[in-house]
Amino acid sequence: MATLEIRDLHVTVEADNATKEILKGVDLTVKQGETHAIMGPNGSGKSTLAYSLAGHPKYTITGGTVTLDGEDVLEMSVDERARAGLFLAMQYPVEVPGVSVSNFLRTSATAIRGEAPKLRTWVKEVKEAMERLNMDPAFAERNVNEGFSGGEKKRHEILQLELLKPKVAILDETDSGLDVDALRVVSEGVNRVRETGEVGTLLITHYTRILRYIKPDHVHVFSAGRIVESGGAELADKLENEGYEAYTKGGASA
């Protein structure tokens, strides 16, 4: 069973000619089939955790370990991490002008699977996955994220999640900026992947709203660069009622 283990992770970022520590000792274990929600106020370091795990060059790991099935993730390049089974659904996916969605998806699937998918089955696979996400077939001929609405960008991220079948999926604020209909479609996509039992999910969110659609096994409260409380789904209800104030008081800069 695939397991992502994060131990005492410390991460800094360069900003305004100063080095700032964002993550201050994160411990977390995500197993295949589990869903963990990470909730926290703005600026608590949730997205830094997501991007550090994916290997974004902006972040410097200053301490701790991250392993996927015992393999050292921090030693891997960004593309190696993806091929090892890590997937990051981004909050702000970037435009890639001149590169069509279909070309991008096929290039990516070829890299992840280690061989080019057979054309006929691939076309069918993409078509069906797009239908499940209520995406127009014409979408495949558009350039990656170019002129996409917020909802289209998130559907496109989840489309990749469905096609690439990672071991561990990190969803960075996938719910932000979505209306209720889009949120439902996107959540259903995530649930389809979860129901296979083959993916560990790390759901990063500011709001409890998405947890009505995607039921977490574990909820962690993130504040000032570390996990400050962990519990079951009931912890989300507490946050819904009381907000983050209890965690941000007492010096944590949110």
Partner 1 sequence: MAEAQNIPVGSTTAGSIAVAAESTVATRMSAPPSFDVADFPVPHGREEEWRFTPLERLRGLHDGTAVATGNGVKVDVQAPEGVTVEAVGRDDARLGKAGTPVDRIAAQAYSAFEKASVVTVPKETVLTEPIRIAVHGEGGTAFGHQVIELGAFAEAVVVIDHTGDAVLAANVDYLLGDGAKLTVVSVQDWDEKAVHVAQHNALVGRDASFKSVVVTFGGDVVRLHPRVQYAGPGGEAELFGLYFTDRGQHQEHRLLVDHNVPHCKSNVVYKGALQGDAAHAVWIGDVLIEAKAEGTDTYEMNRNLVLTDGARVDSVPNLEIETGEIVGAGHASATGRFDDEQLFYLMARGIPEHEARRLVVRGFFAELVQQIGLPDIEERLIAKIEEELEAAVA
In this complex, which beta carbon is closest to partner 1, that of residue 111 or of residue 252? 111
Q: How far is the CB of 121 from partner 1 (least distance, A)?
A: 19
N-term to C-term CA, the chain: 36
- Cα dist from 21 to 24, 75, 133, whole Å: 7, 20, 39
Judged by CB under 8 A, which of 90, 159, 169, 210 binds partner 1?
Answer: 90
Report the distance separating Cα 161 and Cα 96, nearest Å: 18
Element (H or E) spanning 176, and its range?
none
Show the binding pattern over residues 35-54: x = contacts partner 1 (CB under 8 A), - = does not.
-------------------x
Token pair 């410097």: residue: 60
List, in sequence order, every residue forming a beta bridge with 18; answer none if it has no partner: 15
- The reply to whether 96 sits near partner 1 by the rule CB under 8 A is yes
Q: Which of residues 4-33 bind partner 1 (CB under 8 A)?
A: none
Q: Which of residues 209-248 bind partner 1 (CB under 8 A)?
A: none
Please list the helix, strand and coil fractions of the chain in percent, rounded to the nearest 5, in that order: 40, 30, 30
Number of residues that bind partner 1 (CB under 8 A): 29
Radius of gyration of the chain (CA): 18
Judged by CB under 8 A, which of 32, 44, 52, 160 binds partner 1?
Answer: 160
| Interaction site with partner 1 (CB under 8 A) | 54-57, 77-79, 81-83, 87-88, 90, 93-99, 103-104, 107-108, 111-112, 143, 160, 164
